A and B are shown apart, each in its own frame.
Chain A
Amino acid sequence: MSTPAELVEWLNAVSQGDRAAFERLYGATRAKLYGVVLRILRRRELADEVMQEVYLKIWSSAGQFNPGLASPITWMVTIARNRAIDLVRKRREVSIEEEPEAMDVAAELPNPLARRELTEEVRRLMACIERLEPERQALVLLAYRNGWSREQLAAKLGRPVNTIKTWLRRSLLEIRECLGS
């Protein structure tokens, strides 16, 4: 796996139009970003299309990456998630249960939560999420991993949308407090 410093260097070169650096950046991040968009979109043909759009966007906006605001992989994942979520919100016909076979592929890979491999920042964040009530922990993680809307979360968890909204707000504000302390 590439170091964040390498990713920053490549992003910088990409902002100058360096195709070779772009290819290295793609090679180092493609599986991470594809995992993120496939999880949200659940259909390979949509994920394939979004992947292309995401990397074209990375190519054209690499100069806007600010290492003071985010790590390079977080910046790239943010672009990918936003694009994928915007697309699913526009395609309401994509139901929660659709295309399970794409999910099986993701499920076969090793558990990404092998604790010792995680950075200090992730451990702190996970510790804060684990301080939430169990149902709310699930809520936050399901929302992030699957890009589900409040309505989808409400349907999945069998709770009213207003309850989900309240839980989300409280959970996020508690996470903020916990991280701040």
Chain B
Amino acid sequence: MTVNEDREALAAEYVLGTLDADERARVELMLETDPPFATLVHAWEKKLGELHNVIAPVEPPADIWQRIVSRLDGASATSGGADVIDLTRRLRRWRSAAVVSGALAASLLLFVAVKETAPHLLPAPLRPAERFVAVLQEGNGSPGFVMTVDLKSKSFSVRKVGGEPPAGRSYQMWFVHPSFPGGPRSLGVFTDRVPDISATLAQYSPDIVNNATYAVSIEPLGGSPTGSPTGPVPYHGKLIEVDR
């Protein structure tokens, strides 16, 4: 099978639903970071999507609607991990909606000018964020690694909060951004010490650092022999702002 057929089959099997948990996590990472692959997946969703017609409808219990509504009402009051991430996403969407709104354009221009030239003049919530954190977690939400970034001091660190890799294997950390032509780039291998991710990340612009996806794969002892992830990628996550 060619590489293209491998990607095609991976996309198709993801949509059909036959991949195992690690493979699904890998696909979900690729969906965020590999637009041509995401297009393949969407094409398969369209091809196979109509299969839902072969499944008999079943009336759900009557109380489910009420439970959905009360969770909607409670969503703004809770602060569970998934909710925070969801809200952060929504916040980003609102912000980008504001950016394209013509009515706001003039004041935004001024805001951008001040932000670029004299950020200390802005009230705290409008200053560019400087501290970020990413929790690299498994698909089921179990955290494996916590990464912190302080853009001001250019300090980047990661620590392991989850379990050990399987015997004879090493964790290796990666980051990937849509602008990387060759896919994920290594941030180092976890040995008896954590890798110094600052050495690599300090060379990248804040825009790339902030918008990259971070991930940890399971590799042969000592790290991937190929320079790209070769094993399962159980942990991944993105940075969110922490100081607003």
Chain A residues within CB distance 8 Å of chain B = 19, 23, 26, 30-32, 34-36, 38-40, 44, 47-48, 51-52, 55-56, 59-60, 63, 69-71, 73-74, 77-78, 81, 85-86, 89-90, 105-107, 109-113, 118-119, 121-122, 125, 140-141, 143-145, 147-151, 153, 168-169, 172-173, 175-176, 179
Contacts and interface: CB of A to CB of B under 8 A. Distances in A.
A172 B47 CA distance: 10
B24 A86 contact: yes
A15 to B, nearest CB: 10
A59 to B, nearest CB: 6
Interface in B69-119: 69, 71-72, 75, 86, 90, 93
Given A35-B56, A109-B57, A70 B17 contact: no
B47 A81 contact: no
Interface in B16-61: 16-21, 24, 42, 45-61
A56 B71 contact: yes
B13 interface: yes
Contacts of B72: 19, 56, 59
Interface of A (DSSP majority class): helix
A143 B54 CA distance: 12
B161 to A, nearest CB: 19
A60 B94 CA distance: 12
A71 B93 CA distance: 23
B12 A172 contact: yes
Size range of the interface on B? 35 or more
Given A144-B17, A148-B18, A168-B18, A106 B9 contact: no
30 contacts: A19-B72, A30-B65, A31-B59, A35-B58, A36-B55, A44-B61, A48-B67, A52-B71, A59-B72, A60-B86, A60-B90, A69-B46, A74-B46, A74-B52, A77-B49, A89-B20, A89-B21, A90-B21, A106-B56, A112-B53, A112-B54, A125-B47, A125-B51, A143-B18, A144-B16, A144-B51, A149-B20, A150-B19, A172-B9, A175-B48
A169 B11 CA distance: 10
A25 B119 CA distance: 45
Closest 8 CB pairs of A and B: A74-B49, A31-B57, A34-B60, A89-B21, A172-B12, A35-B58, A109-B56, A122-B50
